[in-house]
Amino acid sequence: MASAAEQLAASINFSAFAKATELKNRIWFTLGALVIYRLGTYIPLPGIDPQILQEIFSRNAGGILGMVDMFSGGALGRMTIFALNIMPYISASIIVQLLTAVSPQLEALKKEGEVGRKKLNQYTRYGTVLLAAVQAYGIAVGLEGAGGGRSPVIDPGLFFRFTTMITLTGGTVFLMWLGEQITARGVGNGISLIIFSGIVARMPAALGSLLELGRTGALSTFFIVLFLVLAVAVVTFIVYMERAQRRLLVQYPKRQVGNKMFGGEASHLPLKLNTSGVIPPIFASSLLLLPATFASFSSADQTGIIGWFSIYLRHGSLLYIGLYVALIVFFCFFYTAIVFNPTETADNLRKYGGFIPGYRPGKTTADYLDYVLTRLTVVGSLYLAAVCVLPEILVSQYSVPFYFGGTSLLIVVSVTMDTVAQIHSHLLAHQYEGLIKKSKLRGRRG
């Protein structure tokens, strides 16, 4: 039998959405903030020759620069004030999260609740500013030395480096603030929505390139139709796998307080199939693309180790795909071990009187949780590897003009699911408020 919440969710319609004024205001605020972000991706950095920059970037787009440009919605390729995008914040968040697992002081802060969380967020902001400043200075120095004799910097020197560092760091800090405002006043996770909008903004141009290849005869109509069917199938597969979870039964014993009995109910401990999210593909691709990026920027004769990297670690090569899969699997297990502690979870269950039927509280429960999580992570890592290897095959074997799959598609699907879920929860809250008001009015009339 469906619960009251499920029955209420089934009755949600467009009329309920039209009456939810607060939700509409949140959606408009989110759209307005994302428009501001997209406008900023077209404001160029001062002192740059755009034509020379475009020539240099087109030669080096196959390395890590191409991946960062994808997350920034083209802002890096245009070298705008949002060229760094929100990536320094993501890096700082991951670093703080990893340090929390190894530092007793940070781990103690994490357990302090809201106060500790605010302190960790403050450390993340400081780390974002530091990382953004270092990366911005590196970009300024790299721009001055790029292009050999034709540098894209009009007037290189200390002043250009300083202004570039201030401008790019300020752009990242503004995006960090904008993301927090979207989270607080809008719909969904603001940081994720900023990355999402940058990726989605490039999809129409990519689809147009695909159709243009079909019009010129470079790709057959059958292949384009097959590709579109594959796209729908892959998105459906990702949605299914991202929602998949193993629900472990947790039983709570009955206890008597006075003359009344409490407890005795059962709940579930959900374990996601993909606990690590999109972090493993990002780490894996970053490590693999770094050698290719150095090789593409090197002006020396590429006959030694640099030439080896250029040949054997290029996109679509067997060595690249093999290392990519291995790194994704490794980071899946590594990051899952960081974010989920079976021993701590078992201790929390024992503290509140819960237990998994058939397993004694404590170490036995922790071992069982580790057993289940290990097998879930095996399936989850293979799923991530399959989705991320798909674009490599499409690009290298079938000359598809853009990446379909991988980290970008995972982010788009997961952010879409999260945003729809938050809109759904706002609609539920609005309907619950309406029901409470109606019941109060009936009580007054009665």
Residues contacting 372, CB < 8 A, separation 6+: 246, 248, 271
* The domain boundary residue, chosen from 167, 201, 235: 201
Whether residues 219 and 191 share a domain: the answer is no
- For 15, 186, 214, 376, 378, the CA distances from 372, given in Å and listed in that order, are 44, 37, 47, 6, 10
| In a domain? residue 15 | no
| In a domain? residue 386 | yes
Whether residues 210 and 72 share a domain: the answer is no
Whether residues 188 and 251 share a domain: the answer is no
| In a domain? residue 440 | no
pTM for the whole thing? 0.79
Integer Rg of the chain from CA: 25
Farthest-apart Cα atoms in the chain, separation:
90
pLDDT at 439: 63
Residues contacting 269, CB < 8 A, separation 6+: 247, 248, 250, 345, 349, 356
Amino acid at 169: T
**Helix residue ranges per DSSP H, 113-157:** 114-145
Q: 304-342 b/e with 16+ CB inside 10 Å = b?
A: eebeebbeebebeeeebbebbbebbbebbbebbbbebeb
Instruction: Enter the tokens of residue 178.
Output: 């904008």
Whether residues 166 and 114 share a domain: the answer is yes
Instruction: Enter the tokens of residue 61.
Output: 């787009």
pLDDT at 5: 43
Whether residues 215 and 324 share a domain: the answer is yes
* The domain boundary residue, chosen from 147, 174, 201: 201
CATH of the domain at 59: 1.10.3370.10
Whether residues 184 and 262 share a domain: the answer is no
- For 94, 122, 262, 353, 371, the CA distances from 350, given in Å and listed in that order, are 30, 33, 17, 5, 18
Domain that holds residue 347: 204-404
Q: How far apart are CA 346 and CA 360, in angstroms?
A: 10
Q: How many domains does the chain have?
A: 2
| In a domain? residue 10 | no
> Would you say 172 and 132 are in contact if contact means Cβ atoms under 8 Å apart?
yes
* The domain boundary residue, chosen from 183, 201, 219: 201
Whether residues 84 and 167 share a domain: the answer is yes
- For 265, 337, 407, 415, the CA distances from 319, given in Å and listed in that order, are 53, 27, 20, 31
| In a domain? residue 120 | yes
Whether residues 47 and 155 share a domain: the answer is yes
| In a domain? residue 52 | yes
Whether residues 300 and 316 share a domain: the answer is yes
Per-residue pLDDT of the chain (446 residues; tens, 9 = 90+): 444 444 444 445 556 666 778 888 889 999 999 999 999 999 988 888 888 888 777 766 555 666 677 777 778 888 899 988 888 898 888 888 888 878 888 888 887 778 888 888 999 999 999 999 998 998 888 888 776 667 788 888 899 999 999 999 999 999 999 999 999 898 888 888 998 888 888 888 777 877 887 888 777 888 888 888 888 888 899 889 988 889 888 887 766 556 665 556 778 888 898 888 888 888 887 777 766 665 555 544 455 565 666 666 666 678 888 888 999 999 999 888 888 888 888 888 888 778 888 888 888 989 999 999 999 999 999 999 998 888 777 776 666 655 555 778 888 888 888 888 888 887 777 666 666 666 666 666 65
Whether residues 340 and 197 share a domain: the answer is no
Whether residues 188 and 208 share a domain: the answer is no
> Would you say 284 and 258 are in contact if contact means Cβ atoms under 8 Å apart?
no
| In a domain? residue 82 | yes
| In a domain? residue 186 | yes
Whether residues 352 and 215 share a domain: the answer is yes
